[in-house]
Amino acid sequence: MKLNARILVAIAALLIGMMSTLPAQAGDPQPSLEDSRVAEVLAMAEGGLSQYVIQSKVEDIGSFPELSGTDLVFLKEHGVPDSVLIRMIELEEGSTPAPAVAPPVAPVVAAPVVVPGVAATPPEVEQETASIEVVIERPFMITYYEVAIDDEVLAHRGKLWEGISEPGHILKRPSKIGRRKDTTLDALDIDVTPGPHEVAVGFAVTWVEDDSNDNGWGKYNQEFYVNRGVRAVADDDDHEGEWGKRAAITCDVQPGQTCVVTATLEKRAPSALGGLPIYSVSYQTKVD
């Protein structure tokens, strides 16, 4: 009986050791997911905010703990978009963050072809690049802008404000971009491959409203953010009537050329019967 008891104790110790080395299940939250920065992104995704709002907030946060493959699966299963996950990986602590604006296109140099008994062919001339510059003419104050080339946002500034206050509380007032006298904003300067490229500028004007005209019980004087403007990239989540019509223009640049795009932000006052202002963007281009 003593021998059998010792064997049972040994087997139990072995099983406990094996269980302690088993990997965590994919759905179990990991310690890094309990970090307040990651939790904030998860809360925004579960709250149904668009990927553009979450990406803007990720840039404000600036750094994240190292995320394992299990962490990424957990976040993906809970609605965090792939583009946001990629940016969180780039901003992991200890890594070199990728620039918000895409890097210049490196010139391509063909390697010389060497064939036995045949003289080596001379290297080809370096492929020249072209460039696109975007300038925004802003006749009124804005709280956010973004610039997209070929449906990819390559530059943005400011913030898309979202949220609603508790009853009886006030929200932080949205901050404007730049000074009132600075009506011109240099938004983007980037090298591109020669050829046609679609350029689009979006912007937002955010303000705070309240429900003081609808003082229901428990909702007295709640405040909420209102965003109006134009998006640079079409968003299926946008509600009809909240944003102006998206517009874009094509730059066809040859090697060594620069296409300067001037985007003028425009606002039409609401009708005499009331309503919200209508925003739009118009473009002019110059190729040198």
User: What averages of pLDDT result for each successive group of 10 residues across the chain (288 residues)?
Assistant: 49 48 46 86 88 88 88 91 90 64 53 60 67 94 94 90 86 89 91 94 91 58 88 67 83 94 90 77 94
Alpha-carbon dihedral 66, 70, 72, 73, rounded to 10 degrees: 180
| CA count, 13 A, side-chain hemisphere, 40 | 17
User: Does residue 169 share a domain with residue 56?
Assistant: no
Please count the structural domains in the chain: 2
Query: To which H or E segment does residue 10 belong?
Result: helix 2-20
Rounded-to-integer distance, Cα 111 and Cα 115, Å: 13
Residue 112 lies in a domain: no
User: Does residue 165 share a domain with residue 35?
Assistant: no
Of 39, 60, 90, the last residue of a domain is: 90
Residue 282 lies in a domain: yes
Residue 151, C-beta contacts closer than 8 angstroms, at least 6 positions apart: 198, 200, 233, 234
Residue numbers of the domain that contains 179: 130-287
Residue 145 lies in a domain: yes
User: Does residue 153 share a domain with residue 62?
Assistant: no
User: Does residue 152 share a domain with residue 244?
Assistant: yes
User: Does residue 137 share a domain with residue 81?
Assistant: no
- 263 and 201 Cβ atoms separated by less than 8 Å: yes
Query: Counting beta carbons within 10 angstroms of the beta carbon of residue 80, is it exposed (0 to 12), middle (13 to 18) or buried (19 or more)?
Result: buried
- DSSP tally for the chain: helices H, then strands E: 5, 9
User: Does residue 281 share a domain with residue 161?
Assistant: yes
Amino acid 154: pLDDT: 92
Amino acid 244: pLDDT: 83
Amino acid 4: pLDDT: 54
Question: For 243, phi and psi rounded to 5 degrees?
Answer: -125, 150
Amino acid 27: pLDDT: 46
User: Does residue 80 share a domain with residue 136?
Assistant: no
Residue 11 lies in a domain: no
User: Does residue 73 share a domain with residue 139?
Assistant: no
Sign of the Cα torsion 96, 97, 100, 106 reads: positive
Q: Tokens 């109006």 identify what position?
A: 228
Rounded-to-integer distance, Cα 160 and Cα 181, Å: 23
Left if phi > 0, otherwise alpha if psi is -120 to 50, otherwise beta: which for 117?
left
Strand partners, 133: 189, 260
Amino acid 32: pLDDT: 79
Residues in the chain: 288
Amino acid 180: pLDDT: 86
Is pTM beyond 0.75? Reply is no
DSSP labels, 195-255: EEEEEEEEEEEEEEEE-TTS--TT-TT-EEEEEEEE-SS--TTPPTTTBPPP--EEEEE-T
Question: What does the block give as tokens for 68?
Answer: 């394992």
User: Does residue 141 share a domain with residue 81?
Assistant: no
User: Does residue 33 share a domain with residue 152?
Assistant: no
Residue 221 lies in a domain: yes
User: Does residue 176 share a domain with residue 47?
Assistant: no
User: Does residue 212 share a domain with residue 148?
Assistant: yes
